[in-house]
Amino acid sequence: MGKHRSLLILGIAVAIALISSLLAYSWLKTKGNVKQGVALETQPLLVAAAHLTWGTVLAEEMVRPTTVLKTSFPGGGFSDPPMVTGRVLTSNVKAGEPIFESMLAPTTVKAGGIAAVITPTKRAIAVKVDKTIGVAGFIHPGNRVDVLVSFPASGGKGLSEPVTKTILGNMLVLTVGPEIDPKTKEPSNVDVITLEGTPEETEKIALASVEGKIQLVLRNFVDSNIAVTKGTTIPTLLASYAPGKEAVRRPSVVKPRKQDGKRTAGAAEEKKTAPAAVPTPPPYIVEVIKGGKVTEVKF
């Protein structure tokens, strides 16, 4: 009787274990399927099919969809090509880079080109340049420059001597010739550079172009400080090279001495002054610690 009872208890325990295992397996499988279904849920995201420059009016063939997780879909992104077709880019987009709403001009802007990317309240003005004015051709779209102007001496304009002055700083370069995208770092030989500025700044550039000679100065990308200068004239230019005024030494005159009741004739003798003694500089003292012993060494 006891033997049968033990076998019965063992059988019940095995049955319970099997049922528990089946239930646990079923639960884990169901949970895994749910997680897998959520992870595989995707959504198309539009990216640039090729390198696109700002001012470009987007066409359907300029973008392509790529698949991303729906939970990772970025804000401001697009899924359907018709959503961006006809919109104007306001920034450069590299191939494979997503197209965002912040990269596009308002829907009311239909024409592309430079007019679509000018900052509101600002203007674009062209500046005639050559290799010297254009920093040897190393100015590219997106760079920042300062504008210098040089005026010759002119009594009618109130200038008694030539002067050069920095009139504008940190000006954005919109285009270099017809180029609106810095495709290369090589120097570009162009004769016109377009700058962006406020109406007041463009007035200054226009007047400086007519009455003086403009020079562009390339800036570092991270430098946004505006330098305020007094301008440079020929006297201030040469001031650092002017020779110092040498002290005028008067020779000391020794009065003629009397010899036998008469003054000796001859030229006056110049006193020789001994050079001032140069003080000896104090020695350098170095403390040397060796084996617990401290010694001083003088140089």
- In terms of average pLDDT, the best of 17-26, 69-78, 232-241 is 69-78
Half-sphere exposure of 246 (CA within 13 A, CB side): 4
d(CA 299, CA 294): 17
Higher pLDDT, 205 or 234: 205
Residue 261 pLDDT more than 60? Answer: no
Q: In the beta sheet, which residues pair with residue 270? A: 253
pLDDT (tens digit, 9 = 90+) per residue, 71-105? 889 999 999 999 999 999 988 899 999 999 999 98
Pick from 150, 160, 134: nearest CA to 213:
150
The two tokens of residue 145 are: 């420059």
Question: At 154, which helix (H) or strand (E)?
Answer: none
Average pLDDT over residues 103-124: 85
- Domains along the chain? 43-115 (3.90.1210.10), 118-237 (no CATH)
Higher pLDDT, 23 or 35: 23
Lowest mean pLDDT among 7-21, 43-57, 115-129, 235-249: 235-249
Mean pLDDT (the chain) is: 79
With beta carbons less than 8 A apart as the criterion, state whether 296 and 286 touch: yes
Q: How many residues does the chain have?
A: 299
d(CA 147, CA 209): 11
Instruction: Map residue 1 onto helix, strand or coil.
Output: coil
CA distances from 36 to 25, 26, 68, 73, 203 (A): 16, 15, 15, 18, 64
Lowest mean pLDDT among 24-38, 87-101, 208-222: 24-38
Exposure string of 80-92, with b = 16+ CB inside 10 Å and e = fewer, is ebeebeebbbbeb
What is the CA 97 to chain-centroid distance, rounded? 22
pLDDT (tens digit, 9 = 90+) per residue, 276-299? 666 666 766 666 666 667 677 666
